[in-house]
Amino acid sequence: MCPPHRNEGHEPHVVDEGDRQIRLMAHSRGFVVWFTGLPSAGKSTLARALEKELLRRDRPVEVLDGDEVRLRLTRGLGFSKADRDENIRRIAYVAKLLAGHGVVAITAAISPYREIRNEARAEIGDFVEVYVDCPLEECIRRDVKGLYRKALSGGLPNFTGVSDPYEPPVSPEVAVETGQESLDESVQKILAALDRLGYLAL
């Protein structure tokens, strides 16, 4: 008869970290591209376009889209500041795991608060913040779901940019202006920043 399985705490690490890093060095090094911006600023569209370009360069890529994450990873969390912060912590955790396995993890969540984004940066390390800058009026015009209209009429509380603050980054690695630039211009600007920072050569 087998002894009862003991699981009274966390399992010890069975993979030597040095061995893991040596194995990963044989492949490309992962990093995280963290998009932040108002709802309908263009984060998801940019993330998919950047994914396509990096795949074309044979880089392993995974996009953590804000809506999909809310549906599958953080279902049940609301839109209070505490829940929004927890949402970002979970995204950062998954993104860090992916980057640790040589993947370029692209996150496309609003992530409105500067403090929690800085926490994610410190947690992840290889972190490239992309500020998707777009005027509120243009975001409202683009909103096909009608969420801004509902928020402006008071029917949607805690909506970023209307009834909840958005804190833009102070020193992002790159800022794109989706109200003025074409999609290709914004993607090229991000790629140029990744190249300048040395990530495309890793």
Q: Which residues are catalytic?
A: 111
Instruction: Please spell the DSSP secondary structure of 43-71, one letter per residue.
Output: HHHHHHHHHHHHHHTT--EEEEEHHHHHH
- Whether 105 and 160 have beta carbons less than 8 Å apart is answered as no
Q: Which residues touch 174 (CB under 8 Å, ≥6 apart)?
A: 128, 129, 130, 131, 189, 190, 192, 193
- Report d(CA 15, CA 133) in Å as an integer: 42
